[in-house]
Each structure stands twice: as structure tokens, then as C-alpha cells.
Amino acid sequence: MEEDLTPSRGRPVPESGDDELPWDESFQRKEEREPSSSHHPPKGHSPAKGEEKPDPTSLAWQMGMMAAGIRSSISRVLATGEGTIAADLRGAFGHILTNQHLETIVLGVLAAAYVLSGVYVVNPGEEAVVRRFGQVIDRRVGEGLRYRLPWPIEQADKVNVSQIRREGIGVTIPDHPTDIHPPEDVQILTGDENIINAKVVVQYRVKDPADYLFKIAYSADPLIRNAVKDALVTLGGRTNVDDLLTTGRPELQQALEGYTQKMLDQYESGLQVVNISLQEVNPPKEVADAFRDVASAREDRAKAINDAQGYQNSIVPEARGKAQRAIREAEGYKADVTNRAKGEAKRFEDTFTEYERSLQASAEDVTRYRLYVEAMEKILPKVKKYVVDPGENGEKVNLRILEQR
């Protein structure tokens, strides 16, 4: 069979009959003569007894109608398209392929692309939530290459669960550059009826992707702010202002983390508090001077107490040392006096015993004389001595007259 190329179309022209028409027009006329029975059933046709009627609401019926519509659209494009991809395909493969072959190929490619559209990747640090017709069927899908049924049957929503997010209360956070409202401090009414302004930074992350996506509708930041504010107001009302401004802040931060996490769990938010930091805790500007005066007085009081304790720590050990030294000296003096007294008593007893023995041995009082001599030996070196002549008459001499001279 000989073939000519029509200059305007660039494809072979059949010789006779319907084949004398161009390829696309011949196909169109054939379709007009033989309408598809799949789209238009014969008149008078009714389902046989026992034949189940198709349910227009079923998934299988809807998918079948969608496939039939796609096939019909491809057939029309292949039959009538000029200057399109269909025309290029006909020009390239029209001499070896029919419209039916091209239709089958295109349908196969589209079906493969549709099936492969269910492949997705969960990156490191992420988890995915798979839904089937909106119903969650897998709450936590780990990282890696995964597959789900193509849309619209199933969908996969990915969430970064390793990212540490931040939210500020009274503080501008660099993570939120689009915030147009100035940050507002949280006012706390303390347990002793004082007002304190607080600035807080909260760090949190997603711990349950499904709850995070579908329970709080992507509005995590407002929920975090409101939960922390409620915790501050509640716990701050149980604390004194002095503790908030000084040493009680670490304990308050720890209590805030537990209270806020409890509230988030009650809301099923899927969020986990990592850290809550009290950046600033200050009194209002109107009473800041009075608070500073009170704080200054407390500092002076603390300084005076510290100075007194330092003096006490230095003087008490010294006094204790002196007391111990005096006690030891007194104990030594006591022992010395006691020993001397005992020695003198012993010597007196010995002397008395010797005195009695000498009286019994002789009539003269030798012991008394010896004691007299010993006493004079001790006394005479310390006094002035006068030697006088008693004279012929043996009269006594008045030594006072000699002493006055």
C-alpha cells in the first residue's frame, strides 16, 4: 500500500472509504456511528432480577466513574487534538499505533503516576500522621521512605517533633518576627497583696503529632501563652513578694513547668513543656522607688547582720581561748597550793611527832629551841640588829629612841 504525506498534517492518508478521511476525523465518525455502550446503555434495558443496582455513594462506583471520565477525556483529546501533545504522539506513532493503543498507554502512565503519588519521605526529626478519608489511622509514622494510598483516599501530614519552639510573654521572641503587637507583661497579685510584673520565655516541643494537628488547630502559641499566664496568676498568688524578687524564683519556675504541663495534657494539645524561664520579675513603675527603698533597707539590715556575725565569729573564739587559759592556770595554781599545803601539814606532823619523842627522851625542850633558832635564822637577815649592854643594873634599853635617831 502506498502512502502519501499530507503537507498540512504530516501523517499518512488512507486510500478509500472511511479511510479516505483524516485519521482523527475517521475515528470521530466511527465513534458517532458506534456510541459507547459503557456510557449509554440501550433503551429499555433494566437490571435483571437479582442483579444488584450500583450504589452512587459507594467508593468503588465513584472511582469507576472517575476512571471512565478520564478515559473518555483522553479519547476526545486523542481524536480531536491538534497542535497538542496528542497531535505530536499521533504524528510520531500514528503509523504503528491506533488510538486505542495510545489511550491504553496514557491510561497506564497516569495510573502508575497516581499509584506512585502515595510515596512520601519522613525526614529525620519528623513524624507523620496518616488519615484515611479524614480519619486518623496511624498517629505516629517514623522517619524514612513511606507509602500511603493516593489522594483523596489517604493523606499524610508531617510534623517536626524534635524542634524546640519558643514563646514569650512580655518578651519579643526572634522566632516570631511577624508579631505586630508589643509584648505585654503579666501582672501577678502575690500572696501578701502586692502587684508584680513578670516576663517569661517558654520552650516547648510537639510530643503527639495527631493531637497537635487536630486538637488545637495549629494554634499552639496562643494556647501556651494562656496556659502560662494562668499558671503565673495561680501560683504567684500563693507566694510572697519577697520570695518572688529574691530566692523563690527557681522554685516558682519549677512549679510553673509542672502546672502548665498539667493544663496542656488536659487540653490534649500534644505539646510538652521543656523549660520555663522567668526573665524579669519587677514591681510596677509607679511603686518601683518604694520597692527599691525597701530592698535597700533589707540590704543594709543584711549587711549589719553579717558584720555582727563576723565580729561574733572573731571575738568568741578569742574569748573561749582566754577562758580556757585562765581555767588551766587556775587548775595549776590549785594543784600547787594544795601540794604545798599538804607538804607543810606533813612537815608539821613530822615535827610534832619528833617533839613528843624528844620530851619523852629528855627533860629539855630541844625541839622547841631548834624551831626557835630556825625561825630566827629566817627573821634576823631581814631586820636591823642592835647590840646593847644591859649595864650594871640590868635595865632594859628603849629601842624606839635608838630608831628615832
Strands 165-169 and 195-206, by their bridges, are antiparallel
Question: Which domains does the chain show, CATH number per domain?
Answer: 1-35+59-116 (no CATH), 119-160 (no CATH), 165-283 (3.30.479.30)
State how far the Cα of 158 lies from the Cα of 116, in Å rounded to an integer: 18
Please tell me which residue, 6 or 384, carries the higher pLDDT value: 384
Over residues 208-215, mean pLDDT: 86
Say what the pLDDT of residue 167 is.
87
Largest CA distance in the chain: 209
Which pLDDT band holds residue 330 (cuts at 50, 70, 90)?
Answer: very high
With 90 as the cut, is the pLDDT of residue 326 above it?
yes
Identify the CA nearest to 206 among candidates 197, 196, 216. 216
What average pLDDT score do residues 166-191 get? 73
Q: Is the peptide bond before 152 cis (omega within 30 degrees of 0)?
A: yes
Most confident of 28-42, 61-75, 263-277: 263-277
Quote the pLDDT of residue 279.
82
Contact predicate 327/314, CB 8 Å:
no
pLDDT mean over 110-119: 85
The pLDDT confidence band at residue 378, using thresholds 50, 70 and 90, is confident
pLDDT band at 250 (very low <50, low <70, confident <90, very high): confident
Helix (H) or strand (E) holding 315: helix 288-361
* CA 195 centroid distance within chain: 27
4-15: average pLDDT: 39
Spatial distance between the Cα atoms of 217 and 228, rounded to a whole number of angstroms: 19
Q: Please state the rounded mean pLDDT for residues 201-230.
A: 85
- Choose the most confident range, by mean pLDDT, from 183-187, 213-217, 385-389: 213-217
| Residue 129 to residue 156: CA distance in whole angstroms | 5
* Most confident range, picked from 120-129, 238-247, 279-288: 120-129
In this predicted structure, the answer to whether residue 22 has a pLDDT above a threshold of 80 is no
Mean pLDDT of the chain: 74
DSSP helix/strand/coil, 399: helix
